[in-house]
Amino acid sequence: MYKYILQSVENINWLAVASLVIFFVIFIISALWAFLSKKEFVDRMANMPLEDDE
């Protein structure tokens, strides 16, 4: 059923290219954020689940 739906849509290739571009943009942004963030911030976030604030 899905095969016939996708065959009826012309130029469906842009959808695959767009999803690949969106994935790489999000991946690069998150990698840059991880590498450029300060060590104190990363340590504080890493220890946050272990803290008992009650």
The model carries a pTM of: 0.59
How much is the pLDDT for 53? 74
DSSP code, position 51: -
Question: What domain range is 21 assigned to?
Answer: 2-50
Render pLDDT for 1-41 as a digit per residue (tens, 0 to 9). 666 766 666 767 778 888 999 999 999 999 999 899 999 98
How many domains is the chain partitioned into structurally? 1
Contact (CB, 8 A) for 12 and 6: yes
